[in-house]
Structure 1
């Protein structure tokens, strides 16, 4: 049995989740990427609430109806999971986030404030990823090492360099979200902001996950071929 180190604990947690479908070093496939984003259900649960807000606000310009629509959809997703006896935590976590964002908007009376918490999450990731690069322990490198069962990834120039590059790419994406969306928020362009969040959400996440996988495929695939 492996020692209960933080590295092993992270590896187990990630393999039990969607990231276990995209192990570095294995050939990337659309099927595995689809699994990583939660299959059709995960995609619908990720996109539908935001789409509900966008459509409702565009048609009605009403704050209460606009924030109620994604909450109603999230409740439906939870009910569907309960009836089918599947894991409910993803849907519950989604509802909590949606309700919290709606609460901020209702408290302020400004529909654009429905996105404030999202800005905070992106800003937090920018800080965390930046710090991990500054201290020489790139977060994506650590996570990829956990998935690949490679706690010594920092001892090799190839995996260490790829870890820094991949972490930098994720940092750019989170920063880009803020660069694009915050000006829309300040301008009060609610519909444009909602659309930008949808476009820069799951589609961008899936694309970057694929790129990250290809980067690690290059380094781990080479290492395995050499070992064989």
Structure 2
């Protein structure tokens, strides 16, 4: 390995580390995955044992609220826990209204289908959804659209991956919604919570790790503000010196 190769490899490792950290922040990491799985797991476990929709729904909603309280107590970000509460609440309300325990899962399944379509449609429109999600996390906002074509291509690939993986998941779940009983659907849903998500995140990491580095638009803005302050300071200094020079001539 030459001395020129070492900085390149170090830069690549740094880029991969930044990408990993950004993905964990955006998608909630291990804790976010646990918070996504636990309410549904509790619902299907209780329902499998006693076939009681009300107790299953109350337990799922209760544990979702508990996860939010824990995050608040630890002064941690609550966006992932809150999204879980809303998802569980919609499922509980829907199931209670219809009296069909399987409907607890239907809002989440519809959301997954809608999200899959959103990934594909936004990519076809030239604004891949994963770029809109991760752009602020990488401090690049939408600069990748016009100033970083290699990164835009990586976001497009990642969005295609998310869309197709979620569509495949829906292709399994929706037939089960019609043909399977509540417990069967619930256990399959629990089993499909993490693996497709991890596959999509891993593919996103692969695509972005090979992509050009993000353009830090926040750093650019700060640099411009600093340069403007320096220009103003220089102008003020010139004015002060000019005024002092006039005073000396007049004196």
**Count of matched residue pairs:** 199
Match of 1:27 among 7, 11, 16: 16
Contact 1:145 1:153 in 2 (8 A): no
1:174-193 superposed Cα distances (whole Å, 9 cap, x missing partner): 21121010011011432222
Q: Is 1:189 equivalent to 2:181 in the alignment? A: yes
Task: State the TM-score, normalizing by the size of structure 1.
Answer: 0.73
Q: Structure 2 regions of 5+ residues with no counterpart? A: 1-12, 214-251
- Cα deviation for residue 103 of structure 1 reads 0.9
The answer to whether the 8 Å contact 2:26/2:133 transfers is no
Provide the residue aligned with 1:167 in structure 2: 159
1:120 positional shift: 1.9
CA drift at 1:119: 2.0
Which structure has the greater CA radius of gyration? 2
Asked if 1 retains the 8 angstrom alpha-carbon contact of 2:158 and 2:200, the reply is: no
Q: Which moved more, 1:112-121 or 1:123-132?
A: 123-132
Map of 1:81 onto structure 2: 71
Bigger Cα displacement from structure 2, 189-198 vs 87-96? 87-96
* CA distance, structure 2, for counterparts of residue 139 and residue 25 of structure 1: 25
* More relative contact order, 1 or 2 (CA 8 Å, 6+ apart): 1
Q: 1:134 to 1:91 in 2, by over 3 A?
A: closer
The alignment's TM-score, normalised by the length of structure 2, stands at: 0.67
Question: Once the 2 structures are TM-superposed, how far is the Cα of residue 82 of structure 1 from its aligned partner?
Answer: 4.1
**Local SS of the residue matching 2:143:** coil
Residue 94 of structure 1 and its aligned partner are, at CA, apart by 2.2
Aligned to 2:82: 92
Q: Provide the residue aligned with 1:122 in structure 2.
A: 112
Distance 1:117 1:85, change over 3 A: same
Shift of 1:98: 0.9
Shift of 1:212: 0.7
Q: Deviations over 1:112-162 (max 9, x none)?
A: 101111122112213322221322222224444552627144555533432
Structure 2 matches for 1:1-228, cutoff 5 A?
26-28=15-17, 32=21, 37-39=27-29, 41-146=31-136, 147=138, 149=140, 151-154=143-146, 158-220=150-212
Q: Which runs of 5+ in 1 are unaligned?
A: 1-23, 222-228
Distance 1:139 1:42, change over 3 A: closer
After alignment, is 148-157 or 92-101 more displaced? 148-157
- Distance in 1, matches of 2:178 and 2:75, equals 43
State the alpha-carbon separation in 2 of the partners of residues 199 and 129 from structure 1: 23
With 59-68 and 175-184 compared, the bigger mean Cα shift is at 59-68
Encode CA deviations 1:22-68: one digit per residue, 9 max, x unaligned.
xx972259974655553554333222111101211111122112212
Residues 28 and 186 of structure 1, relative CA distance in 2, 3 Å threshold: farther
* 2:128/2:155 contact within 8 Å kept: yes
**Do the aligned partners of residues 167 and 36 (structure 1) sit closer, same or farther apart at CA in structure 2, a change above 3 Å counting?**
closer
